[in-house]
A and B are shown apart, each in its own frame.
Chain A
Amino acid sequence: MRQVLLIDFGSTYTKLTAVNLDAPGVLAHAQTRTTADSDLSIGLNEGLALLEAQAGPFRFEARLACSSAAGGLNMVASGLVPNLTAKAAKLAAFGAGAKVIRTYAYQLTREDAEEIAGIRPDILLLTGGTDGGNSEVIIHNARRVSGIPSNFPVIVAGNRSAREKCADILMKSTHPVFCADNVMPEMNRLVIEPVQRVIRQVFLERIISAKGLSETQALLDGILMPTPSAVLEGLKLLAGGSNKHAGIGDLVAVDLGGATTDVYSIADGFPTGANTVLRGLIEPRVKRTVEGDIGMRFGARGVLEAAGSEAFTRLTGLPEEAVTRVIAGYSARPEALPANEEEEKVDFALAVLAIRTALGRHAGTLEKVYTPVGPMYQQTGKDLSGARRLVVTGGALIYAGNLKDIVREALMRADPLVLTPRDAIISCDRGYILSAMGLLSGYDQDAALELLLGAFGKEEENAAC
């Protein structure tokens, strides 16, 4: 029997999944603590013992891992215009599985440089200008960054006319320099795959060892990618299928965490209405965003701020004072589980409003314009209102009770001008299939797809929810 081990070193938990490739199926799944502060292999060995106890002994022909341990992949993005190259840079970094700590537009100031020095990103992405367009700002910014006394790698992916100059400037600094194609070679056209490949390469070659995660390599065939990239790979395969098998088509996924919430969409999202024109940046078919202020525990206060206390009192039936008190408690104790009815109600509302807020920020919007021939709509971003499938995943799901009720409520009272899914089939992943299959997809795509379709392929909501 051909066996492969898939590992996700999460920030808190390490998840192990043993799969059989001959008759594709999951043999065993185990979860242990992540031991990034000492040596990852301690937690890994504990997990292996748990796996063995379930269905061992195993003889793995490959051990593939993804990681968001030791803080994940932290990036800073810089571009020219906020809505254009700065946004393109941010989308590219998110899509490569990074946390984007901060995005800068226009010229970097001395204060910006000091702030970046304080952030100490794993990678800084420098963009700006269409090809043949503005080169002044990116060159100025390359100079600024070259003066930051640190050795984080810099990826230059802006106006190609300025590339050499930027590389020359940075080469003389303490920063390793990498170049990639422009993220926006012409107005509104995004080209993010090339820079994402470079981010991946830098992650593999430098970040893993810089974080002290490489000692584990003896036990592994490598940490191949950041965990969010693995999830994205899994979703891409599930949506698009392979040469042999069709996928399930366009989909949206939400990963609800304690501190942050990630949203993924695999869909073109072009306008569907006859009177609707698309404005601005054409967003990538494979898109990921991260809401750094939206989550079930650390991020609870952010949900309250974004959704407003009225939404909470309406959903919970509790007075505002109770809502605020429970949320303050949750923000302070990230591991807390709801202990009474009041807390359960707030948890429900938190999950609903976190999902609604995060989906709303990820999805495109419509603006009504009154013209002499009647109303027209301008669409910015992606129209996901027709998405047929919504996959919900994430560690925070364990808190939140009946998932289907939560998601349905989240989709229901959506703003009509915000193009979130309206009526999707809800599926859920209790936290490992997507990332595991994303890892496996680069090794045995057919087996990965078969397992994904087994978990999510049915035209009904899956049992795990």
Chain B
Amino acid sequence: MDRKTIILGVIGADVHAVGNQILNYAFMDAGFRVVNLGVMVSQEEFIEAAIESAADAIVVSSLYGHGELDCQGFRDKCDEAGLKGILLYVGGNIVVGKQPFAQVEERFRQMGFDRVFGPGTSPEEGIHALKEDLGVT
């Protein structure tokens, strides 16, 4: 009952499927109930899935460089849909090329993401953060 539910998916028109599968297994292994939406997931799909599943967190991946556009307004839509305060993570290669990560992180935080992970972040780091934020021991 107290298993935490997370929604997982790759946002936008992004088809990079490998990392998504790895995260899916890693999160399940770590004891989470994972609702994996796969690749090419719209903001609306993340949100609808979170409502029906009473999710505790939404974990967004973006690998192809258009993450900033795809994530625009995500938090606002969550608020609008009644998912107030739901934990929002984003990770992968979320922007084009190599930009200073601190700036990238700041921009995504401004958009309402609780945590932002740069290229090459391991699934374990994500799991550690989730456990901390959701109070899983």
A binding-site residues for B, Cβ under 8 Å: 80-81, 83-85, 128-130, 132-136, 161, 184, 186-187, 277, 279-280, 369-373, 376, 378
- The stretch of B33-41, B84-92, B104-112 that contacts the partner chain: B33-41
How does the 8 Å CB contact mask read for B42-58 relative to A, with 1 for contact and 0 for none?
Answer: 00010011011111000
| Neighbour of B54 across the interface among A133, A370, A373, A378, CB < 8 A | A133
Q: Which residues of A contact B48 (CB under 8 A)?
A: 81, 83-84
Q: List 11 A-B contacts (CB under 8 A).
A: A81-B48, A128-B52, A129-B54, A132-B3, A132-B33, A133-B52, A161-B1, A187-B49, A277-B40, A279-B40, A369-B40
- The answer on a CB contact under 8 Å between A85 and B40 is no
Chain B interface size band reads 20 to 34
Contact A187 B53 (CB under 8 A): yes
Contact A187-B51, Cβ < 8 Å, known A133-B5, A372-B64, A378-B40: no
Known contacts A277-B40, A369-B40, A376-B40; A80 and B51 CB within 8 A of each other? yes
CB contacts (< 8 Å) of B3 on chain A: these are 132
Is there contact, CB below 8 Å, between B40 and A81? no
Min Cβ gap B9→A in Å is 10
One of A84, A277, A376, A378 near B52 (C-beta < 8 A): A84
A11 to B37, alpha carbons, bound, how many Å?
A: 44
- B15, CB-defined interface residue at 8 Å: yes
Contact in complex: A134, B13 (CB < 8 Å): no
Give the residues in chain B near A134, CB-CB below 8 Å: 51-54
- Identity of the chain B residue whose Cβ is nearest the Cβ of A107 in the assembled complex: B82
CB distance from B21 to the nearest CB of A (A): 15
- Contact assessment for B53 and A133 in the assembled complex, using a CB-CB cutoff below 8 Å: yes
Task: Find chain A residues with CB under 8 A from B33 CB.
Answer: 132
Contact B45 A280 (CB under 8 A): yes
Residues of A within 8 Å of B53, CB to CB, are 129-130, 132-134, 187
A84 CB contacts on chain B under 8 angstroms: 48-49, 52
Q: Is the interface of A mostly helix, strand, loop or mixed?
A: loop
- Contacting residues, chain A, for B54 (C-beta < 8 A): 129, 132-136
Q: How far is the CB of B47 from chain A (nearest CB, A)?
A: 9
Instruction: Please indicate the chain B residues that have their CB under 8 angstroms from the CB of A378 in the complex.
Output: 40
| Beyond A370-B13, A371-B13, 6 additional pairs, beta carbon < 8 A | A80-B52, A132-B1, A186-B35, A187-B49, A369-B40, A371-B15
Q: Which residues of A contact B49 (CB under 8 A)?
A: 84, 187
**Inter-chain contacts of A129 with B (CB < 8 A):** 52-54
Inter-chain contact A130/B64, CB cutoff 8 Å: no
**Closest B-chain residue to A369, C-beta based?**
B13
Residues in A with CB closer than 8 Å to B14 are: 371
Q: Which 10 A-B pairs have the closest CB atoms?
A: A133-B53, A371-B13, A134-B54, A133-B54, A81-B48, A369-B13, A130-B53, A187-B35, A130-B52, A187-B49
Q: What A residues does B15 contact at CB under 8 A?
A: 371, 373, 376
User: In the bound complex, how far is the Cα of B53 from the Cα of A161, in angstroms?
Assistant: 12
Shortest CB–CB separation between residue B32 and chain A, in angstroms? 12
In the complex, chain A residues whose CB is within 8 Å of the CB of B35 = 130, 186-187
Whether A81 pairs with B13 at a CB distance below 8 angstroms is no
- A432 CB, nearest partner CB in chain B, Å: 41
Q: Given the complex of chains A and B, what is the CA–CA distance between A367 and B94 in angstroms?
A: 24
Whole-angstrom distance between the alpha carbons of A133 and B34 in the complex?
A: 12
Which of A136, A184, A369 has the most CB atoms of chain B within a 10 A radius of its CB?
A369
**B48 closest partner in A (C-beta):** A81
Chain A residue, CB-CB nearest to B3: A132
Measured CB to CB, the closest approach of chain A to B55, in angstroms, equals 8
Q: Assess A81 versus B52: contact at CB under 8 Å? Given A277-B40, A369-B40, A376-B13.
A: yes
**B64 neighbours in A (Cβ, 8 Å):** 371-372
Q: Are A132 and B51 in contact (CB under 8 A)?
A: no
Tell me whether B37 and A187 are in contact (CB under 8 A). yes
The chain B residue with its CB closest to the CB of A128 is: B52
Q: Is the CB of A187 within 8 A of B52?
A: yes
Tell me the chain B residues, 1-27 only, with Cβ under 8 Å from chain A: 1, 3, 5, 13-15
CA–CA, A83 to B37, complex, Å?
Answer: 15
